[in-house]
Amino acid sequence: MYDVIILGSGPAGLTAALYAARANKKTIVLGGDKLGGQTAGIAVLENYPGWAGSGFELAQFMKNQAESFGATVEFVSVKNISGDAQSGFVVACDNGAEYVGRTVIIATGASPRKLEIEGAREFMGRGVSYCATCDGFFYSGKTVIVMGGGNSALNDALYLADLAKTVKIVYRKGAFTRAEAVLRERVAARDNIECLFNTDLAKIAAKPDSEDGELIVTTTDGAEMVVDGVFVAIGHEANTDFLTEDIKRDAMGRLAPDALPDGMFVAGDVHSDIKMQIATAVGTGCTAGMDAIAFLNKQQ
């Protein structure tokens, strides 16, 4: 029986683990399929105070810190949760193992929203990508599209601009109103980034007789572009499919703390009504960890 079971190994989950373990609570992190969640894919982390390395390096540092106080980290993914705080929450995982805990902190984060147009699924991994830092290397010297207009899309475009010959940002609105000013300025300063406003994609198809796997991308107004890759950054959806239907979620699948049963807490990007930033993830991780500690202490 664990005192605290934490779902997710991003900054929120690892912060909660640090607080719980330091309070001498038996703590385990079920970290999904990789350390760090979305943070791990950030090549250079600029907007987390006191850190100048990569996102993966930050996640590794946080993991080591939590483990130094006795937390355990295992890389398995949750399938479902049953039980309650009185009898114990039972967390069933994809490897067949079950973990029982007196409290559960949900910090499973969010995943990129998938592009739902013709060809998007067919060419996923063969020209369509949701991770610029993972796949950008394969498009060195080539032409790529970045779809989206928020911070993630502009960061992806800037990263790819150092590798690709040409980066075209396709955005359905007339300006990057959701992105930070510093990112808009950096994009505007890059000669190999072209911004296509008031534009949306309708179809992705293979270019006939192309030996290099080029794609033909068709916009909603019928225009066609020949590119080597399409990187999608159109928002996120919370990773909460493993929860039962009686647990209330918002339109993005995120959770409100007051909608959860006793002994269950939420932190990070899966938390409703917060900005999806590492700094806020850490803050909610701290809060969830301390709330779990207080809950356990009251049960003694």
Residues designated catalytic = 131, 134-135
DSSP annotation string for the chain? -EEEEEE--SHHHHHHHHHHHHTT--EEEE-TTSTTGGGGG-SS--SSTT--S-HHHHHHHHHHHHHHTT-EEE---EEEEEEETTTEEEEEETTS-EEEEEEEEE---EEEPPP-SBTTTTTBTTTEES-HHHHGGGGTTSEEEEE--SHHHHHHHHHHHTTSSEEEEE-SSSS-TTS-HHHHHHHHH-TTEEEE-S--EEEEEEPTT-TT--EEEEETTS-EEEESEEEE---EEES-TTS-TTS---TTS-B-GGGSPTTEEE-GGGBTTS--SHHHHHHHHHHHHHHHHHHHHHH-
Closest CA to 22 of 63, 60, 64, 67: 67
